[in-house]
Chain A
C-alpha cells in the first residue's frame, strides 16, 4: 500500500512519503532531475516557470528552519505560490483537527502540501485523506521517514562518489528516534550501496535494527574502518533525561566524531550531518568545518532535490539536463526578472 499510495497509475511519483517501495530507477530519476536544477542557483535569475499558478502549502506541525526554508526556496524557484503555516502541535491534538486543517486548506484550492509532523504516519494519513488532485510531500513524520533529506544526501554523495556499489556508509548516533536514518538506510540499500553500518549504543538502536538491512556496531573505533561516507545524526538533549544516555560528555567520548577518529575511516571519506549540529556533542567543530565535511553542500543541494521532487509530484515534465544553462531569458516568465 505504501508504494501504491505514492505512485499514480502510470507508476509516476504522486506523493513522496517514504523511500520504501520506490525503485532504484525512480530514485535515480529524482537525482537526475535534481541535477538539471542544481546549476540554477548560481545564476542571476533563479526561477523557472514549471509550477507557475500552483499553490504550495508548507504545513509544519513541528518547528523547522532549514527544511522549511529550502522547501520554500525550492517552490519559489519553480514559480509556485507558497504559504507557510506553522501549527504548533500539542500532545492532545487529535486526528480530527489535523483532518479539519487539511479540509480547510483544500477548500482554498491548494495543489500541494509539504508536511512535517511529530507523529509517524501523519503524512500517509494526509495523503490518504486529501483530495485526489493534491500531492503530499513528507518533510519528516515522527520517527518514520524524511525522504527528501535522504535524497539530498544521496545527491551529495553521488556528486563526490558516483559509484554507490562500492560505498560503505556508516550512520552514527540516535538511530532509534531518527526518521533521517530510516530513510537514508532505505535509499542506500535501494541504490545498491555495498554496506550500511549503524554505530550507536544499544539504547539508541531500535529492536531488530538489522532487519532494516544494516550491520551493527557499538564501537566507533571499530565501526569506522573502511568507511567511505560518515553520516552523523543530531543528538537531542532529551535523550539524557529519558535515561537513554548518561551525559553529553560521555556520549562525545564514545561516539563523538573527532579528527582523530575520522582517521580510522578511509582517507577520502566524506562527513555528513542533516543539521542542526550540536558541536562538541556528536561532532567536533574541527571536523564539522574541516576539509572532509560536506555539511553545507548538503544544505545547498536540498533546494535542487526538493525542486525535483515537487516538479515530479506535480507531474511536470522533467527538464532535460542542461536545459537551464542559459536561464536568463525564459519566454513568458516575468516573475523571476524583478
Chain B
C-alpha cells in the first residue's frame, strides 16, 4: 500500500521543515518528504491543498474507560474520537478497572486496542500495586509487557519513603515516572481552585500548594534517585517556575499541561456548571498566563488532552458530587490553534508540543515525518469552522465546556502506521 499526500503545507518541527510539498508513504512507513522515490506509484493520493500535513499527535494522558466503566465510554468509541482528533498514539493512565498493575492487564489492553483497530495505545503501568501507594508494582514485568512508563495516576503514594523507593526501582529499570503532583491531604477532597470563586460559591477548594509541594518533593527525589520524571497536567504559575528552575539546575525532567488549562480559568466556571469540574481545578488568569509562557519558553514541552469521557449521570448533580474530567480529544487541535491565533505560541511550537516533544518524553521513534518512521500523519484544515455538537462528535462522553461552541480547525485525515484511520469527507 502506497500513499501520496500531495500539495500540503508540511510542518515537521523535528526535522525543521515548513514548506509545501508531498509526503510519500510505503508499507506503513514514511519514505520521503522531499523527492519522489524512483518508481513510486501511489495506490491512494490525498490532496492536501490548503491543508497542513504534520506528524500524528501523541497524547500523554487519556482515559478510554471501557472494562469497568464501559457505560462511560469504550475503546471502540474513544479510538474514533482519537482518530478524528489527529491523535495516532496515546498513553493510557493506569487507573483503569482493573488497574494496570500486572502484565495480564497490559495484554488485555493490547487486545482491546487491536480489536478497536487502533494499536498504538501505550499503557502506563501502576507505580504501586492497585495504585494504593503502599507496595511497589512489578515494574520490570510491566515494562516487558509493554508499559511505556509508570505512574500512580491521581492516587497518592502513602509516604515519601515509598515514593523514593519506587523511583529508585523505576530508575534501575530505566523507566519513566509520569507524575501528577497533588498532595492528597492538602487537596482535602476539594473540587475547585482555592480562590475568590470557590469562596463565593462555598465550594471545597484545592490550594496551589497541593500541587507545588508535591512537585517540589518529587523534584528532590528525582535528584536523589536519578529517576526520569515527567510531570503531568501542571495547573499553576509556581509549578511552572519550579520546573523552569529544576531544568536550569540540570535535572532530567519534563512537563505537560492539559489543553483546557491553557484556555479556561476559575472565572469561566458558570456557577455550579459541572462541565467545568476538572482536576487539577481551573485556576486564575495569572496561572493561565504562566502556563502559556511556560509552553512558549519550552519549560512545558507537551500539551496533553487529559481526556476523561463521562456518562451523563456522572455530571448530573450538585457540583461537588459530580465526577471531574473533560472529554477533550476532539477539541485538542482547535484549542491548540486558538493559542496560535492568540499569539501565545507559534504554529510550529503547537505542533511540536503535540508530536515531536511527547515522542522525546516517551523515547519513541515517532512524532516526526522522518524517512523510516512509522507513517503517523495528521492532515488538518486550519480554517475549517465547525460546531461542537452531537453531529460532529465521536467520543461517548459529551462532557465538555465547549459544547455548542464554534471552533476553528479540523482534522481531515489521520494515518496511523500508513493506514487511513480517519477521513472527514
Contacts and interface: CB of A to CB of B under 8 A. Distances in A.
14 contacts: A95-B313, A96-B317, A119-B317, A119-B319, A120-B204, A120-B272, A120-B318, A121-B203, A129-B316, A179-B202, A206-B198, A209-B199, A211-B196, A212-B200
A142 B202 contact: yes
B265 interface: no
Given A124-B272, A207-B207, A95 B317 contact: yes
Max chain B Cβ within 10 angstroms of own Cβ: one of A96, A120, A142, A211 = A120
B322 interface: yes
A143 B204 CA distance: 8
Contacts of A2: 271
A14 interface: no
Nearest to B188: A242
A141 B318 contact: yes
B425 interface: no
B202 A94 contact: no
Contact of A120 (B202, B207, B314, B316): B202
B405 interface: no
B196 A121 contact: no
Nearest to A125: B318
Nearest to A143: B202
A99 interface: yes
B405 to A, nearest CB: 16
A99 B313 CA distance: 10
A152 B118 CA distance: 62
B194 interface: yes
B271 A98 contact: no
Given A95-B322, A119-B319, A121-B320, 14 more contacts: A1-B273, A20-B200, A95-B315, A95-B316, A96-B316, A120-B204, A121-B201, A125-B317, A141-B202, A144-B202, A206-B199, A207-B198, A207-B199, A207-B205
B258 to A, nearest CB: 23
Contacts of B195: 207-208
A207 B194 contact: yes
Max chain A Cβ within 10 angstroms of own Cβ: one of B203, B205, B272, B316 = B272
A208 B272 CA distance: 19
Interface in A158-205: 179, 182
Interface string A82-110: 00000000000111101100000000000
B49 to A, nearest CB: 44
Interface of B: 194-196, 198-205, 207, 270-273, 313-322
A40 interface: no
A142 to B, nearest CB: 6
B275 to A, nearest CB: 12
Contacts of B194: 207
Given A96-B317, A142-B320, A208-B195, A124 B271 contact: yes
Nearest to A209: B199
Nearest to B319: A121
B318 A117 contact: yes
A125 B194 CA distance: 22
A36 B313 CA distance: 44
Nearest to A181: B202
A48 interface: no
A211 B271 CA distance: 17
A144 B199 contact: no
Given A145-B202, A206-B198, A119 B271 contact: no
A188 B269 CA distance: 25
Contacts of B318: 95, 98, 117, 119-122, 124-125, 141-142
A281 B273 CA distance: 38
A119 B270 CA distance: 17
A125 B202 contact: no
Max chain A Cβ within 10 angstroms of own Cβ: one of B202, B205, B270 = B202
Given A1-B270, A124-B271, A124-B272, A208 B196 contact: yes
Contacts of A122: 318
A125 B200 contact: no
Nearest to A182: B202
Contact of B321 (A20, A94, A208, A212): A94
A125 B204 CA distance: 17
A119 B320 contact: yes
Given A94-B313, A121-B272, A124-B272, A211 B200 contact: yes
